A and B are shown apart, each in its own frame.
Chain A
Amino acid sequence: MEGVSQEVALGRSFEKVNAILKKHAYNPSNLVGILQEVQEEYRYLPEEILTYIATALGVSPAYVYGVATFYAQFSLKPKGKNIIRVCDGTACHVKGSSAVLKYVREYLGLREGEETTPDLLFTVETVACIGACALAPAMMVNDDVYGLLDEEKVKEILERYEEGREGADGV
């Protein structure tokens, strides 16, 4: 599987990280951007890469770790292939976003405290406003926005992404 081969590659080389670092001229003031690109590549920030980045930029690992944990966007745990962001902004909240979150979690069979499905296909997060307030309640799956959600619609949408599940297993 794609995820596994990445993990394997990770142990051996930091080539991709090097390319990203180089693009940012090894400048510590680009740290946020560097971490964003690394996360895009690996879907999370593996600890050994954080240490590696610190050394390469000449700053302490604590500094890099501090930045990585400050921003909600960064994750130190592997994330799923599809990121579901259920909006819990004000407009969505007053229109019942808690129910949407419940439907999503139920559909994916997530247990309390769990955010990612064991097969690493979905990660669920809440965000405060995705700028689709007029369509509240809304959510994003990866970069796509879905609005005016109810139980049925949530199911329909997730089913669509789930079809990728078979494909991923088959490879």
Chain B
Amino acid sequence: MVFKDRVSLEAKVAELKKSMPKRKVLVCGGLGCLAKGAQRVFDLLVERLETEKLSWTVEKIEETPHHPVKTGCMGLCEAGPLVMIEPQGILYLRVKPEDVEEIIEETLKKGVIVERLVYQEEKNGRKELWPLMKDVPFYRKQVKVVLRNCGSIDPESLDEYLSRDGYLALAKVITEMSPDDVIGEITKSGLRGRGGGGFPTGRKWQFARVVKADKKYIICNGDEGDPGAFMDRSVMEGDPHSVVEGMAIAGYAIGAQEGYIYVRAEYPLAVRRLKKAIEEARAAGLLGQNILGTSFSFDIIIREGAGAFVCGEETALIASIEGKRGMPNPRPPYPANRGLWGKPTVINNVETLANVPAIILRGAEWFRSFGTLTSPGTKTFALAGKVKNTGLVEVPMGITIRELVFDIGGGIQNDRAFKAVQVGGPSGGCLTEKHLDLPIDYDSLCGAGAIMGSGGLIVLDEDTCIVEVARFFMNFTQNESCGKCVPCREGTKHMLNLLQKVVDGKASMEDVELLEKTAVVVKDASLCGLGKTAPNPVLTTLRYFRDEYVDHVLHRVCPAHVCQAMKEYFIDPEKCRSCGKCARVCPVSCISGRPKVPYVIDQNQCIKCGSCFEACPFDAIVISWRRKNHE
């Protein structure tokens, strides 16, 4: 149906709310669960419920049949495939196709919980069961604003979005608020850009609003370049209409009639779902000409990225949409003045925009009730790395790293020791144990040398080498540096070389000093945010883990046992039968020996290729990690 005015939309929303099936079986359709076989579980549920329905109608047990929906990510990816049963809110983990029968027989028919599929927690030697989703530790401390619909509606259904008050915020905005009112409300809410910079969204809109121009644009930044983050993906895949609605509201506020969503090339599912959402919204009169019978017109075009990290930077993104090489340009002029095709343009992150409808509907005060004074609201994080529960989380700003890693994340895998968290990806930094009680908000993280970034949060344990992590990020930024400005192009290359030397055990302390100096120059002198932040991983690791650099350089020791160059190969004289196989395969001929005498490896020449290790038929080759002399 086409909504001609606000009244008809509101009537439909009210009707949908009543008629939406309350009994639902939700199968998580997030990537994590799909990769673990959620589709089979889903198909089987649909099939079994189809057949069962017949007998039910005879017995008249069900009035509304259970209704399986494939949802977006529910977050606890590690324990997928996840199945939730509403209205009770029961959560089942690691559901296999063979469990479907029991779920139907026990839970759906009799309301009995299948205990073996429920979340279990070991506490003081006692097992605790948490059958309800809201009680599971992973969800207990979370607050869902951005992810309000992710995981609980079918992202491919407009009706389901509408049943959650969808598009009512847009309706309210265009029928009873002036653009200044909208900007005022967003400013009052204190919403800050979730794309990394944390710039106040209301102010950004105001800049673009006051510029006079025949055309303006709003761009949604769905490039999500941080290599280890998937929040924006989950929103685009799990609740695409919220992004569409947020964009339309932003468009109304600044006076734009056209919007672009720029999505990463690696996210084909997000593109498909956004396309569908836009088409459905258009068909319902919620996008296009004269939305809900008002004078406001707005439409959205999707552009797919082509694999370049720098295109997440706003000026580069604009160049990319214009069909050019995605290279950044100096600011000013800011996009709010001269952006896409020279017109005033607002660029906002996916998550920023998904917050907007909620703020409009529930008010700035409500939004400010979460988070801190200077960073109100919530933030989504992609929790990954060496933590027990990995997945998508949304927490109020100001939560401590400890709560995030230990309470929600469940602590470190395999009970290893916590070493650091990497926040903000290649632009961010590593924080240590002493920062565990640091509140997560824009200003605290900045003060510690990291950044909020888009929300990638990777937990590192004692088996992760910090220097190698710094090298990893530098390798990434060096690859992605677009080459336009010298400090970034050359600086990242040199920093990478120096880090490689450290990892290879060939660096001197002067190299480390040079690394630090170069980092400072690149940070100060680069053109865009990529170069300006590329040294952060180096600078924070040098600041908090200097000892580890020193170990690599002075002692040729890798405390985490990661850097191959710090390995040593020995031949166990007891086991060696002097067959000579190792000497024959050694590519640098550094193994010598005679019949009847155990062979020996010349440590100075060994390149640690491992060939001898593989060749020895008697397991006589021993690998050991170098240790500090005094140990």
Is B a genuine binding partner of A?
Answer: yes
Q: Is the CB of B385 within 8 A of A94?
A: yes
Q: For residue B422, which residue of chain A has the nearest CB?
A: A90
Asked whether any CB of chain B lies closer than 8 Å to the CB of A117, the reply is: no
Q: Is the CB of B460 within 8 A of A133?
A: no
Q: Is the CB of B382 within 8 A of A133?
A: yes
Inter-chain CB contacts under 8 Å: number: 134
Contacts of A27 in B (CB 8 A): 323
- Residue in contact with A134 in the complex, picked from B32, B227, B267, CB distance below 8 Å: B32
Asked whether any CB of chain B lies closer than 8 Å to the CB of A3, the reply is: no
**Chain A 55-97 near chain B by CB (<8 Å), digits 1 or 0:** 0000000000011001111100000000001001111111100
Asked whether any CB of chain A lies closer than 8 Å to the CB of B345, the reply is: no
- Residue in contact with B306 in the complex, picked from A28, A71, A95, CB distance below 8 Å: A71
Q: Is the CB of B384 within 8 A of A134?
A: yes
Q: Is the CB of B326 within 8 A of A128?
A: no
If A73-B307, A132-B32 touch, does A127 touch B266 (CB 8 Å cutoff)? Answer: yes
A-B contact pairs, 22 of them (CB 8 A): A27-B323, A29-B321, A29-B322, A29-B323, A32-B320, A32-B323, A67-B323, A70-B482, A73-B307, A88-B227, A90-B422, A90-B456, A90-B473, A91-B385, A91-B390, A94-B458, A131-B267, A133-B229, A134-B391, A136-B385, A136-B390, A145-B31
Contacts of B233 in A (CB 8 A): 131
**Chain A 90-121 near chain B by CB (<8 Å), digits 1 or 0:** 11111100000000000000000000000000
Q: Is the CB of B326 within 8 A of A71?
A: yes
Contacts of B469 in A (CB 8 A): 90, 93-94
Asked whether any CB of chain A lies closer than 8 Å to the CB of B280, the reply is: no
Asked whether any CB of chain B lies closer than 8 Å to the CB of A54, the reply is: no
Q: Is the CB of A130 within 8 A of B35?
A: no
Closest 9 A-B residue pairs measured CB to CB? A134-B77, A90-B228, A128-B227, A72-B307, A71-B306, A89-B227, A91-B384, A131-B230, A133-B384
If A88-B227, A90-B228, A91-B384 touch, does A134 touch B306 (CB 8 Å cutoff)? Answer: no
Asked whether any CB of chain B lies closer than 8 Å to the CB of A33, the reply is: yes
The CA of A131 and the CA of B458, in the complex, are separated in Å by: 13
Residues of B within 8 A of A (CB): 31-32, 34-36, 77-78, 224-230, 233, 265-268, 303-309, 320-327, 341, 382-386, 390-392, 422, 425, 456, 458, 460, 464, 469, 472-473, 476, 482
Q: How large is the interface on A (under 10, 10 to 19, 20 to 34, 35 or more residues)?
A: 35 or more
- Residue in contact with A145 in the complex, picked from B35, B265, B303, B341, CB distance below 8 Å: B35
Residues of A within 8 A of B (CB): 27-33, 35-36, 66-67, 70-74, 85, 88-95, 127-136, 138, 140, 143, 145-147
Contacts of A29 in B (CB 8 A): 321-323, 341
Q: Is the CB of A135 within 8 A of B35?
A: yes
Q: Is the CB of A66 within 8 A of B325?
A: yes
Q: For residue A71, which residue of chain B has the nearest CB?
A: B306
The CA of A65 and the CA of B305, in the complex, are separated in Å by: 17
Q: A35-B306, A72-B306, A133-B458 are in contact. List 16 more A-B contacts (CB 8 A).
A: A30-B323, A36-B304, A70-B325, A89-B228, A90-B385, A90-B473, A92-B228, A94-B386, A94-B460, A127-B266, A131-B31, A131-B233, A133-B382, A134-B32, A134-B391, A140-B266
Contacts of B320 in A (CB 8 A): 32
The CA of A7 and the CA of B366, in the complex, are separated in Å by: 61
- Residue in contact with A128 in the complex, picked from B309, B323, B392, CB distance below 8 Å: B309
The CA of A35 and the CA of B326, in the complex, are separated in Å by: 14
The CA of A95 and the CA of B464, in the complex, are separated in Å by: 9
The CA of A94 and the CA of B268, in the complex, are separated in Å by: 25
What is the CB-to-nearest-CB distance from A101 to chain B, in angstroms, rounded to a whole number?
13
Q: Is the CB of A143 within 8 A of B384?
A: no
Q: Is the CB of A129 within 8 A of B306?
A: no
Q: For residue B265, which residue of chain A has the nearest CB?
A: A73
What is the CB-to-nearest-CB distance from A41 to chain B, in angstroms, rounded to a whole number?
15
